Structure 1
Amino acid sequence: SKGSLFLKFADDDPPVVSGGDGALQVAVHDRVTAGELIELEPDLVVLVTGMEARQNAELVDVLKIPLDKNGFFNEIHPKLRPVETVMDGIFIVGASQGPKNVPESVASALAGVSKVAGLLLKGYVDLEPYVAEVDAARCSWCGECQQACIYGAIEKVTQDGRQVARINPSACKGCGACAPPCPENAIELKGYTDRQVEGMISALAREVA
């Protein structure tokens, strides 16, 4: 009968192709049937090579977009936000996300274009309200916060003759990862300052008591 037959094999135990004089034989251990050895005599064997991601270290450093385990750019969510990245205004389409055929690449490109058009038509960008703040009087610039920020939202500036950290509110996501490493406790998150959090804990403790 006509149709397609798929056999699943382990990565460390690929099919073996043998034969000569025009006769081919393929032997494979099928995982679906508990490793049963299946031997086939096909008329034609076609080898399909996998797609490998380019070395994008420089681009990753500039855009601050994470990669997946295979080296392709990572979207926020494959179903809900398939072309959006952790960096606002940067979208990924086509084979930059992984192997795709032409229709899939065109569809993702159209999705990316629609996202860009939406930003341009809106005319402004909504910023995250709960971002980190630096107390310049306490900051002595050790660089720990900059290393902790995966979004590149922290830069070193000179203020009143001193080097201090400054938060870029348009790049900050309000994750708070920069606050714990600060040895001077010079960074707090808007809406979640130490005083506010301590007040919440005290109120909760009174209710429990």
Structure 2
Amino acid sequence: MKTILAYGDSLTWGYSASGPTRHAYADRWPSVLQAELGEDFHVIAEGLNGRTTIYDDHGADCDRNGMRLLPTVLETHKPLDLVILFLGSNDMKPWIAGRALAARQGMERLIELIRGHAYGFEYAVPKILLVSPPALCRTEDEDFAEMFEAIEESQKLAGAYAKLAKQLGISHFDAGSVAQTTPLDGVHMDAENTRAVGRALAPLVRDILNS
């Protein structure tokens, strides 16, 4: 059995802007990916609302720093065949970073952590799939509009991540190629779009793990 860790933020957790609430389990992209891949694969959903790549959010009610939490998560779920990194939207908050370059640098650090982790027991270093989130969109929700104002910067994430992936020799997928954010809050995906991400990732994940 191949084990896949889906390490992300609210887009992986399954935040639904209508309500707000959480998408049904079957609608979340890691669940859809699991269903598409079948019983020979095990997808571990590690989504946390507000998670950043490497940055602190001192106003949060728990630790949202993806860099600080990642080593523990890797150790918890080893051995792993593939880690899917799906982060960057929260880095767009103005008090976090607000720049695509900052998110790219954060992702580079996470990739270094995955490659340098001491897995032990002669376990292999997992392969890595870097996923860029769909770009932010305009919303009438005043709080979210102010919180995620860096729409133009978010549009740069796919290109920045693709360049990083090529540089480091890992795989990349642009979630914005199959999904878009909802204008209800400008940052999250509705059920149809999050399902689309899971379906689109399945053939790529198979290719990665069979290569």
Report the TM-score, using the length of structure 2 for normalisation: 0.24
Report the TM-score, using the length of structure 1 for normalisation: 0.24
Higher relative contact order (CA 8 A, sep 6+): 2
Higher helix share: 2
Larger radius of gyration, structure 1 or 2?
1
